[in-house]
Structure formats: structure tokens, C-alpha cells
């Protein structure tokens, strides 16, 4: 993919940006880990599948198309996602917002995201969709290419501390709505441990009553 093609793709993505009706948001949680891999020309033909665990242990699955130049030897990319809800209990329609950029330090466990070169992006992302626990696909209804200096104004309330790079560098942003009823929740280890202890305690009490 040459530079001219890249710019055409970016222009098309920006032109087709859709600002669909949103959830009336009151609470924003994140960022959480999402995609993290090395893209090569061999990965261009297959949608990248990723995801992570968000607020309340909800498991988020998403698929996105990512393309790098055919001459590329590999591009380390990273994604993060945020969850937004109208109430603190994160029940009902949840807004999932994903950001994709470069991975500035693949060897680190720190959550960091750097912007792509605005003149010649190292990768192009498109066609984001989220997958519910039932297998239902929820296509993103918002997509945009945003420079780092535009992030605070366009995403107020988001913790943008992981974002790095020049102010003119760009990030690919997508968002969609997924009902909480179609998300599988995995309890936090501490919560699960507490539940096991409580269950064991109640079992012991019941046994005492029966034996008594």
C-alpha cells in the first residue's frame, strides 16, 4: 500500500465517520488492555481478534481490520478500550470505545500507546465490531482518525495518560454499544476467593447444624 493509497483510506475513514446516537453517559471506566501484536503483510487479509477484561469483569471481544504496507517487516501495535455507562453499576447499554496506535515498548507490561505518523501511517485500522457472549456481532457505529492533541476535547472524562507521541500523531478510534446482558462477567480473583471462602464457611455451619 503506497502513501497515496494510505491517504485515500484515511480520507475515506474520516469522511465516513458516523456520530450515531450515544448512551447518556455518566460513568467512564478504563483504559483496559486490548489488541497487542506485531502486524505483518501476512496478517493483512484476516481481521485481528482481541479483547480484554473491563469494568465488573466484563469480557470484551472485538474484531478489527488492520493493514500494513506490503514492504513492512512488522509493526508493533497496541489497543486499549474504555467502557461507558449511564449508571455506576454498568448495567444496560454499555458504550465500548477502542483506540489503536503503536506499541512503544513491546517488552514492557506498562499500558502505553503511541500515535501513528500522520503523514505515512504505519498501519490502517477499519471495520471494528464487538462480539457478545451469545455470538451476536455489534458493529461499531462510530469511527474516526484523531490526532493526539484532539483527544482531550473529543473524549472528555477519559483517562488519556497512556497516550504518547507528538501532538500531530494519529490514533484510530471506534465505538459501539453492547448490552451488558450479552457480556460474560469474570469475577476478580479477590472476589472469587471471597466467594469460595464464604461458601465453605456456610457449608461448615450447615454441616454442624445437621450433625448437632
- For residues 55-80, average pLDDT: 94
Q: Specify the residue for cell string 500494513.
A: 68
- pLDDT at 208 exceeding the cut of 50: no
CA distance 6 to 53: 32
CA distances for 21 relative to 2, 140, 175, 177, angstroms: 35, 12, 11, 10
CA distance 187 to 207: 27
At 69, give phi and psi (nearest 5°).
-60, 145
- For residues 119-138, average pLDDT: 96
Higher pLDDT pick, 23 / 46 = 46
Spans of all domains in the chain: 3-186
Q: Which residues contact 25 (CB under 8 A, 6 or more apart)?
A: 84, 85, 86, 95, 157
Higher pLDDT pick, 36 / 191 = 36
Q: Specify the residue for cell string 445437621.
A: 210
CA distance 136 to 162: 31
Can you give the pTM of this predicted structure? Answer: 0.80
**pLDDT tens digits for 154-172?**
999 999 999 999 999 999 9
| pLDDT tier for residue 17 given thresholds of 50, 70 and 90 | very low
Q: Which residues contact 43 (CB under 8 A, 6 or more apart)?
A: 37, 66, 68
Range of lowest pLDDT (5-14, 37-46, 77-86, 125-134): 5-14
CB contact burial 13-44 (16+ within 10 A = b; e otherwise):
beeeeeeeeeeeeeebbbbbbbbebebeeebb
Amino acid at each position: 500500500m503506497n502513501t497515496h493509497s494510505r491517504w485515500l483510506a484515511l480520507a475515506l475513514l474520516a469522511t465516513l465517520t458516523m456520530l450515531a446516537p450515544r448512551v447518556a453517559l455518566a460513568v467512564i471506566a478504563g483504559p483496559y488492555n486490548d489488541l497487542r501484536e506485531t502486524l505483518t503483510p501476512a496478517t493483512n487479509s484476516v481481521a485481528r481478534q482481541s479483547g480484554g477484561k473491563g469494568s465488573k469483569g466484563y469480557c470484551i471481544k472485538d474484531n478489527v481490520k488492520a493493514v500494513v504496507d506490503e514492504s513492512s517487516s512488522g509493526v508493533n501495535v497496541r489497543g486499549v478500550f474504555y467502557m461507558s455507562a449511564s449508571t455506576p453499576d454498568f448495567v444496560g447499554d454499555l458504550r465500548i470505545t477502542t483506540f489503536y496506535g503503536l506499541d512503544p515498548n513491546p517488552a514492557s507490561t506498562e499500558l502505553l500507546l503511541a500515535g501513528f505518523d500522520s503523514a505515512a501511517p504505519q498501519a490502517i485500522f477499519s471495520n471494528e465490531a464487538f462480539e457478545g457472549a451469545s455470538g451476536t456481532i455489534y458493529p461499531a457505529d462510530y469511527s474516526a482518525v484523531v490526532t493526539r492533541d484532539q483527544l482531550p476535547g473529543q473524549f472528555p472524562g477519559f483517562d488519556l495518560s497512556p497516550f504518547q507521541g507528538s501532538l500531530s500523531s494519529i490514533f484510530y478510534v471506534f465505538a459501539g454499544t453492547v448490552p451488558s446482558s450479552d457480556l460474560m462477567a469474570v469475577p476478580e480473583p479477590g472476589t472469587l476467593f471471597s466467594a469460595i471462602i464464604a461458601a465453605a464457611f456456610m457449608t461448615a455451619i450447615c454441616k454442624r447444624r445437621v450433625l448437632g
